[in-house]
Structure 1
Amino acid sequence: MSQSTSPRLSRRNGLLISLAVLASALSAPAHASSQATVLVVGDSISAEYGLPRGTGWVALLQKQLDSGRIPARLVNASISGDTTAGGRARLPQLLKTHQPKVLLLELGANDALRGLPLAQTQANLTAMTQLAQQSGAKVLLLGMQVPPNYGASYTRQFAQVFADVGKAQKAAVLPFLLKGVADAPDALQYFQSDRIHPNAKAQARIAGNVLPELKKLLLK
């Protein structure tokens, strides 16, 4: 009797093992997909220029999300010196590779430093926003401002670019990424010696500016 039932038991046990393996395989992607990808495309402010690796605002923002038990993984694709044109060229492949739920777009400051036309900056930001939305990602534009020495009119027009793109494309906008840093009464304490790039002391403030706006998009 034991000889006749043994094959049946073996087949049954093999079937149970196979079902368990299949269930495990099916459950793994579901768990992984619950962690949203947030793609950061920016310039030196987001690329940790002049800072030890892992101490920039993007890394600190990841820690804030983790401590708040918000299942999101930040992918930092920022490059020092990048312009909106550079970001526009890189974005299609980045979207294809990472398939983000949210795109944090921090570009435009280098356009101003190079004296590029505001219309060009706006067109590039618009194209990137549309491309991300078409891929299924939500967009948060991280607005920047230029120093007062650029002139009141240009300063106002530059800041308005981000607002205009956000309104036209129905995208979220953080008006000024460096709020509480560049406009602080004692702003110099938050900048490196070049007076352009925020130092380590400023990074937590920058991350704190982004966090509430990002949470809105992740928790929708």
Structure 2
Amino acid sequence: MFKKFLYIIVVIGLAVSCSVRAADTNVSLLVLGDSLSAGYGIAEADTWVAEIDRTWSLHHPNLRIINASISGETTQGGLARLESLIDRHQPDIVFIELGGNDGLRGFNLDTMESNLREMVTILQSRNIQVALSEVEIPPNLGRRYTRMFRDVFHTVADDKGIPLIPFFMREVALNAEYMQADGIHPNLAAQPVIADIMEPQLRALLEAL
């Protein structure tokens, strides 16, 4: 009887510890992006990723965000760097915000899709959760290319069974007050706005672990 009682206590204890994992265990999310996340034209400490890091440090100290974004990065570059980033940071989740530079340069979309799929496959094989950002580009290369480009992200997310996060630039790109003179990159004033958009979505991913 005592052994049965002890077994029940152990099982309950394990269930409770699993249910509160995100509340009492440090978990991390790595942002693998391009200039939109790296903070082209502004200081690294002022990026939307850094804004989220400060918020989490104050209000969610068990959560950590790591910015591994590089201006000019492509899906091929992200794929080439991925393994070393995993080994260095050991993230629980990777948020991939790549593809914009592929599209702006008119790269082959099959290659871009293959790179995204390979990144997701690598992460899933190492039991790391993945979330993919939608990415949109101006229609400079024609409506057909632009539509096919946008569809890649939905196809990869659906096929791989991963979350697809709405493109955060959609909320700021049409507001000149939030854009740099090139019309592509968000400025300093846009960073807190993007952080407000992304913080609850990224936090939800970590708290669901």
Which category describes the TM-score, using the shorter chain as reference length?
A: 0.7 to 0.9
**Corresponding residue number in structure 2 for 1:141:** 132
Report what 1:208 is aligned to. Answer: 196
Structure 2 Cα separation of the partners of residues 107 and 38 of structure 1:
16
Tell me what 2:103 maps to. Answer: 112
Partner of 2:55: 64
- Indicate if the aligned counterparts of 1:163 and 1:175 stay in contact, CA closer than 8 A: no
Aligned to 2:177, the other structure's residue is in SS state: helix
Letter in 1 for 2:165: L
Please identify runs of 4+ aligned residues in structure 1 that moved more than 4 A.
Answer: none
1:127 correspondence with 2:115: no
Q: Secondary structure at the match of 2:82?
A: helix
C-alpha distance in structure 2 between counterparts of 1:53 and 1:62, whole Å: 12
- Helix, strand or coil for the counterpart of 2:88? helix
Does 2:188 align with 1:197?
no
Report deviation, 1:143: 1.4
Cα deviations across residues 81-130 of structure 1 (Å, max 9, x unaligned)? 11000000000111111111110111100001111011111111111111
- Paired residue total: 186
Distance (whole Å) between structure 1 residues aligned to residue 205 and residue 138 of structure 2: 30
The unaligned stretches of length 5 or more in structure 1 are: 1-32
TM-superposed CA distance for 1:70, in Å, is 5.5
Residue of structure 2 in register with 1:169 after alignment? 160
Sequence identity (%):
41
TM-score (norm. length: structure 2) = 0.83
Give the Cα–Cα distance (whole angstroms) in 1 for the partners of residues 203 and 64 of structure 2.
13
- Give the structure 1 partner of residue 80 of structure 2: 89
Aligned CA RMSD, in angstroms, stands at 1.8
Structure 2 residues without counterparts, runs of 5 or longer: 1-23
Q: CA deviation at 1:134?
A: 1.6
What SS class does the counterpart of residue 39 from structure 2 fall into? coil
Counterparts of 2:200 and 2:57, CA distance in 1:
14
- TM-aligned CA deviation for residue 67 of structure 1: 4.1
**1:168 CA drift (Å):** 0.6
TM-score, normalised via structure 1 length: 0.79
